[in-house]
Structure 1
Amino acid sequence: RKAITPKTKLLFCETVSNPGLDVADIEAIAKIAHEHGLPLVVDSTFTTPYLQRPIDHGADIVIHSLTKWLGGHGAGIGGIVVDSGKFDWKSDKFPLMTQPESSYHGVRWAHDLGDLSPIAFILRMRVVPLRNLGACITPDNAWMFLQGIETLTLRMERHCENSLALAKHLQSHPGVEWVRYPTLDGDKNKPLADKYLAGKGGSMVVFGIKGGAEAGSRFIEKLNLFSHLANVGDAKSLAIHPATTTHSQLSAEAQKAGGITPELIRLSVGIEHIDDIIADVDQAIEASTNA
């Protein structure tokens, strides 16, 4: 509430944060947004509709990167926007919705659509950015995503099963300082994961390797099954050490503020056999920490 000013246009959150894996209390955030006449926009990439449907909990707009779990193979580039059709855009806070659109015969999207008013936002999004910027997914990417979505349920079940098993294994590993996974017993996010994610934690596991940044960088180099990629959500397992890659341009203070610590390893756990996944992680930890 303290962060909201007269200039605020929306509230935004991720269903599960990256890389901290904090689960958002969407109902509570939606209540605050609506108290202030603001829409809640939720990035549900990490959970997909298999684990959570944010609109059912009060979100107004949901976005997904199709490149991640929905596509499932890191082969296509695209995203989607889902409009609940429930938000009233008639406030002066949203001049693009309330002022006449000169290039469309002066239509006021929030006022002049009659029975189509509930889809004013997504209708404007379809026609104006599409015309001005070419915001249209390519046919080959669309085809790849449609193929991926057909197996979403099977993949997500295996992702969640493998991730929980790996997280539990890492909890007792001598080369690991800490483990973060939403449905682990004792994890601060477990109550919210039980409420919003049907007790499943997704396919991201974050842990701290003993030895700090140096050990973290070596760990990545020693992996065999895992691919060293910044992407997430592939059918194959992926790993990255953010402090020396994606966030290396930031100062230590800025990294810490973003939840990036020197020992943090982020794993996107794939659908390979769990024994192979654990074996690869174990040998890489041993090779980089002597644990």
Structure 2
Amino acid sequence: MSLPVTDHDLSTRQIHAGADHDPGQRTLTVPIYQSAAFEFPDYEAARQMFAQTRAGFTYTRTGNPTVAVLEQRISDLEGGVGAVATGSGQSAVAVALLALLGQGEDKHLVASEKLYGGTVDLLTDSLADHGVEVDFVDPTVPGAWAAAVRPDTRAFLLESIGNPLATLPDLPGIADVARAARVPVVVDNTLASPALYRPLEKGADIVVHSATKFLGGHGNALAGAVVDGGTFDWSAQPARWPQFTRARARWGGQSLLDKCAGASPYLHLVRAKYVHDLGTTLSPFNASQILQGTETLDLRVARHTASALTVAEFLAGHPAVARVHHPGLPGDPGAGIAARDFPRGTGSVFSFDLAAPDAAVGPFIDGLRLFKLVANIGDTRSLVAHPAAMTHCRLTPEQRRAGGIAETTVRLSIGLEAPQDLVADLGQALDTVLETVSTLRK
């Protein structure tokens, strides 16, 4: 039997949640059901499953037994009523928002001004092509969100820990604004993971993940997930949410609220419309890789987090560093929220600014030996990136300034290596920066 959400500690649930014993071969690990399709027992079963009146697996594009275990596990860890897995974190954000935007011309989102660059691309380019308007606001100031709300606002979007500056939002305050405006709150919990933070407990309605990162933890498989907290009342304003409240031929002449009585109409829309139509499918093999990663989630994240603070403290005292953006450091703007909402720490992805000319960034990064220059985070290995040239390169200069990203900003993702080795690696590269600065001053 799958474990109920409240029966065990997270460290137990991350291993067992969603994993029923295989009735055939009695495998201990979750089998990889590497099949595109599934045989129906008879014609009537096939008819009912395609009519979505009977549960079952029809085609791996919309559901697979291996993927289903991952969905149940992530939902359990986040405290949701269910989840839908996708082929990447980017696709998870996309389908999560598409399901909220619905039909009609008036589509507006309020989003944090401190987001991952790929998410900004989605909001300001691909969704903008379809008439979606976005206002970007400070995630630490709930009043800014209240001022940005419009009658056509369909969602608030923010990150539990901002990428790349580790900005911490005032989620409880933002959630209060959202409830007053009757707007659902979507939180990307990738950088924190449920080992450090559970947004649904702080007022979020929907959680998204790039499971590629800390849930998987080894940089070997792309995956995403959308989790519904089951807290938003779609029926309170029927005209505002026609995708849930109006009958449609696609749902057999019913509304999703009627069709999904006792289940999540939101997740049904995500899976049966957007994942089905757009094919944002997670493969069974990748689901298996992420499942294996979740089994050690809390152990890995604790080590990542402790090592990151050690590295941040070293950087804060180095003369080649102008500023370190880490909420665990005294005086950081996020220190108060960190103490209030993040008792287990604020993760291992943060940034710092070099006290050097822009031209020093390349030689510094190239001088690192243990840190790998890649466009990823949440790996066992320590990683480095230059946001202005890489992950946030398509943002306008104004957007980068609002996000606090300078040409000298360097992002780190601290891995599981010995922290003293990481400090030594950063130290030798930073000493080279000091030499460069000294030469330029002569």
Give the TM-score of the pair, scaled to structure 1: 0.94
- Equivalents in 2 of 1:251, 1:53: separation in Å? 32
Instruction: State the number of aligned residues.
Output: 289
Counterpart for residue 56 of structure 1:
201
Whether the aligned pair in 2 keeps the contact of 1:208 and 1:265 (CA below 8 Å) is yes
Which stretch of structure 1 is more off in the superposition, 191-200 or 274-283? 191-200
Task: Kindly indicate whether the alpha-carbon contact (under 8 Å) linking 1:207 and 1:264 is maintained by their aligned counterparts in 2.
Answer: yes
How far does the alpha carbon of each residue in 1:98-135 deviate from its partner, in whole angstroms, 9 at most, with x for none? 2222222122113453333xx11112222222321223
| Structure 1 Cα separation of the partners of residues 190 and 393 of structure 2 | 24
Q: What letter matches 1:98 in structure 2?
A: T
Describe the SS at the equivalent of 2:353: strand
SS in 2 for 1:145: helix
Q: How does 1:35-74 map to 2 (within 5 A)?
A: 35-74=180-219
Deviations 1:242-286 (A, max 9, x none): 223333455544421332112111101111001110111111111
1:246 aligns with 2:391: yes
Q: Distance in 2 between matches of 1:11 and 1:86?
A: 15
Residues 1:113 and 1:249: Cα distance change in structure 2 (over 3 Å): closer
**Residue 154 (structure 1) aligned with residue 299 (structure 2):** yes
Give distance in 2, aligned partners of 1:160 and 1:57.
21
8 Å contact kept, 1:33–1:40: yes
Structure 1 window deviating more from structure 2 (54-63 vs 17-26): it is 17-26
The answer to whether the Cα contact below 8 Å between 2:161 and 2:346 also exists between their aligned partners in 1 is no
Contact 2:256 2:265 in 1 (8 A): yes
Pair 1:113 & 2:260 matched: yes
CA 1:204/1:130 → structure 2, altered by over 3 Å: closer, same or farther?
A: closer
Distance 2:432 2:305 in 1: 27
Q: Separation in 2 of the partners of 1:88 and 1:129?
A: 21
Question: 1:94 aligns to what?
Answer: 241
Partner of 1:205: 350
Q: CA RMSD in A?
A: 1.6
CA displacement 1:171-230 (0-9 Å, x = unmatched): 111111111111111112111111211151210121111213211121111111000012
Deviation per CA, 1:149-172, whole angstroms, max 9, x where unpaired?
111111101101100001111111
C-alpha distance 240-134 of structure 1, shift in aligned 2 (>3 A): same
Q: Is the CA contact (8 Å cut-off) linking 2:382 and 2:417 kept in structure 1?
A: yes
- Structure 1 pair 42/249, CA: closer, same or farther in 2 (3 Å)? closer
Residues 245 and 256 in structure 2, CA contact (< 8 A), matched pair in contact too: yes
Selected match of 1:122 from 256, 259, 267 = 267
Partner of 1:169: 314
Structure-2 change in CA distance of 1:83 and 1:17 (3 Å): same
Answer yes or no: is 1:231 the counterpart of 2:376.
yes
Secondary structure, counterpart of 2:253 in structure 1:
coil
User: Rg bigger for which structure?
Assistant: 2
Structure 2 residue aligned with 1:31, among 156, 176, 187? 176
How far apart, in 2, do the equivalents of 1:244 and 1:62 lie? 29
- Does structure 1 residue 266 correspond to structure 2 residue 401? no
CA distance in 2, matches of 1:248, 1:104: 42
C-alpha spacing 1:11/1:249, structure 2 compared with 1 (3 Å): closer
* Structure 2 stretches lacking a partner, 5+ long: 1-145, 438-442
Cα pair 2:228 2:266 within 8 Å, conserved: yes
**Aligned counterparts of 2:231 and 2:220: Cα–Cα separation in 1:** 34
Q: Secondary structure at the match of 1:10?
A: strand
- Give me the whole-angstrom Cα distance separating, in 2, the residues matched to 1:154 and 1:191: 25
Identical residues among aligned pairs (%): 37
Q: Distance between the aligned counterparts of 1:223 and 1:138, measured in 2?
A: 35
**Alignment match, 1:195:** 340
Report the AA paired with residue 45 of structure 1: T
**Aligned equivalent of 1:134:** 279
Does the aligned pair in 1 maintain the 2:219–2:379 contact within 8 Å?
yes
The aligned residue for residue 14 of structure 1 is 159
